[in-house]
Amino acid sequence: MAPRISNRIACFVDALPLVPGHRVLEVGCGPGVAAREVCRRIGNGFVLAIDRSARAIDSAVAGSKPEIASGYLRFRQVAVEDFELLADEAPFDLAFAMRVGALDGRHPDIERRALERLRAALKPSGQLFIDTGHPLREIGLRGR
């Protein structure tokens, strides 16, 4: 049984402009709670959840067997500032991050590289949301 979703994560996911069929990228997925919830909400869409921690990815995979088997959720161990689409991957409609140090302003050089990577991974109309708003804030990626 999947762990219960916290109010913080539920409020954040509720605020995301999710659309059935969307391709969604989660940055800093930890144990995969938000990724599973987003996967549940976008129907035949797809979620790729990344984290720099091998331990986090192992935990996320262990807790997400049905979603992974469905083909609608995948996990990858990679730091956001090193993330690149694979040759066969389509760009994403939306990306989100909760409590990700690379995007919280404390590491400007890493943040700049991370935003460049996210811009490259998103469709031209793609959106990036982080958890520094109430409950989220959109980061403008165009014109940077």
Closest CA to 63 of 133, 139, 2: 2
Of 135 and 8, which is predicted with more confidence? 8
Amino acid at 69: A
pLDDT at 66: 96
Amino acid at 73: L
Rg (CA), the chain: 14
**pTM flag (> 0.85):** yes
pLDDT at 141: 81
**52-111 per-position pLDDT tens digit:** 999 999 999 999 999 999 999 999 999 999 999 999 999 999 999 998 988 888 889 999
Q: How many C-beta atoms surround the C-beta of residue 101 within 10 A?
A: 15
Residue 89: strand, helix, or coil: coil
pLDDT at 4: 78
> 107: burial class by Cβ within 10 Å (0-12, 13-18, 19+)?
middle
User: Any idea which architecture 15-139 has in CATH?
Assistant: 3-Layer(aba) Sandwich (3.40)
**Does 143 score more than 60 pLDDT?**
no
Q: Where are the extended beta strands (E) located within 17-121? A: 23-27, 46-51, 73-77, 92-97
Q: What is the side-by-side order of every strand in the sheet holding 137-139?
A: 73-77, 46-51, 23-27, 92-97, 122-130, 137-139
**31-42 per-position pLDDT tens digit:** 999 999 999 999
Residues 6+ apart with CB under 8 A from 112: none
Please report, for the chain, the start and end positions of each structural domain, with discontinuous segments joined by +. 15-139
Residues 6+ apart with CB under 8 A from 125: 93
**102-132 per-position pLDDT tens digit:** 888 888 999 999 999 999 999 999 999 998 7
